[in-house]
Amino acid sequence: MKMSCKIRLDEFMAGLIRRNPGESDFHQAVFEVARDILPFVESRKIYCDNRILERMTEPDRIVIFRVSWEDDDGNIRANRGYRVQFNNAIGPYKGGLRFDKGLTLDTLKFLGFEQTFKNSLTGLPLGGAKGGSDFNPKGKSDHEVMRFCQSFMTELFRHIGPDTDIPAGDLGVGGREISYMYGQYKRLTNTVTGTLTGKGLSYGGSMVRTEATGYGLVYLTDTILTHHGNGLAGKTALVSGSGNVAQHTVEKLLEYGVTVLTMSDTSGFIYDKNGIDAEKLAFIKQLKNVERKRISEYAAAFGAEFHEGQKPWKVPAQLAFPCATQNEILELDAKALADNGCLVVAEGANMPVSNEGIDIFDRAGVLFAPAKAANAGGVAVSGLEMAQNSLRLSWTRKQLDAKLKNIMRHIHEQCVEYGTDEGRVNYRKGANIAGFIKVAEAMVAFGNC
């Protein structure tokens, strides 16, 4: 990076941190983008004159509200609800709702900012947003979750709509929560629209939506390897997490002939030297989705190793798919992956690799697919669900899977176009610039609004 760009980056980040104190996740997400965008825009006067990046890092609006609800013992409880509507330059706001007791505005701002670029990369006319509550659905009865969701939607419905803002599910918000919220939205508005995605198939949902993030992650990785004269078949892989994204990543990797060695949860990771096959994956799905037990049960059932309180990144493998949480691959983890000859790291979770880890991959020549590109399959199929709702039709599973593959292929093409330097593709740079251009062009066209 030129010294002038380095000074500009330092000044930009100092201003952002001053305006957003104590929001380290948001700072990290913006830095990861800004270090690629600022050198790109330096010679493009129109972006500089319109201060596009400065405007793009400020949300259009943030809505914060109280959510009062009654538990099964008759006690009135109160939580905080959020919706961060980040940018709607290219389409209505689109992004998930997260229910988590540790949820903060910092997390939602980083996710909403990332969502803006991710949605742009899909090629669909979608803006970026994120929202949720510090409500913890774990351990709550169905009736308690229903009452909370109905109260949450009683305020949120004022700020969303099919042409305004279309929320979806995220951490802690699955089909049950979406159903309760959508039912309340229908009741309040007396409309049947595609205002929420991730709905059940019987009332406007889309096939492949559950699998889309994991499947898309694998489709993009296969395209990356193919572009570099390789392929997925015969490779070994590390997967972290054991939730929806991790499960469907493993499911699709098995179809491509990849040997998956690890999965994890908050208690530690399992290492199966023989590989996690379809039967073993079915056991994990039952264990995590139905019984809600720890991944260590897998080790006992199949004679695999369980490493308590550890992450899987020291295990030698050719591919790595962090699908658990942000900043799970830190500097030493990245060094271990690079030293062990890892070829590709593709982010299934949001921002699971620290900026220091990304730098190590860059220096070591490890191909790194950032979340805004790699896990865009989920929002891509959410966008397709919106299209089906608008057209009042349903596409088949085969049709949707083909559309998902095409979208991931298009994302790869954009990364190659804007990230190729001396014959090597920097997928982080390519994704950041490609995602930026579409939003920036729209913002310039609109003037200083």
Our answer to whether residue 293 is catalytic in this structure is: no
What end-to-end distance do the CA atoms of the chain give, in Å?
A: 31
Nearest to 323 by CA among 394, 385, 371, 382: 371
Pull the structure tokens for residue 178: 């979406």
The rounded distance, in Å, linking the Cα atoms of 136 and 10 is 38
CB 232 within 8 A of CB 246: no
User: Residue 116: which H helix or E strand, with range?
Assistant: helix 105-122
d(C-alpha 161, C-alpha 149), whole Å: 17
Structure tokens that stand for 404 in this block: 């998902």
320 within 8 A of 349, measured Cβ to Cβ:
no
Q: Identify the three-state secondary structure at position 99.
A: strand
Choosing from 118, 130, 311, 429, the catalytic residue is 130
**Rg for the chain (alpha carbons), in Å?**
21
Strand partners, 368: 345
Dihedral sign of CA atoms 174, 180, 186, 189 in order: negative
323 and 221 Cβ atoms separated by less than 8 Å: no
Among candidate residues 291, 217, 207, 224, the one with its CA nearest the CA of residue 247: 217
Instruction: Give the per-residue SS3 of 325-343.
Output: CCCCECHHHHHHHHHCCCC
Residue 400 tokens read as 């949707």
Query: Where in the sequence numbering do the catalytic residues fall?
Result: 130
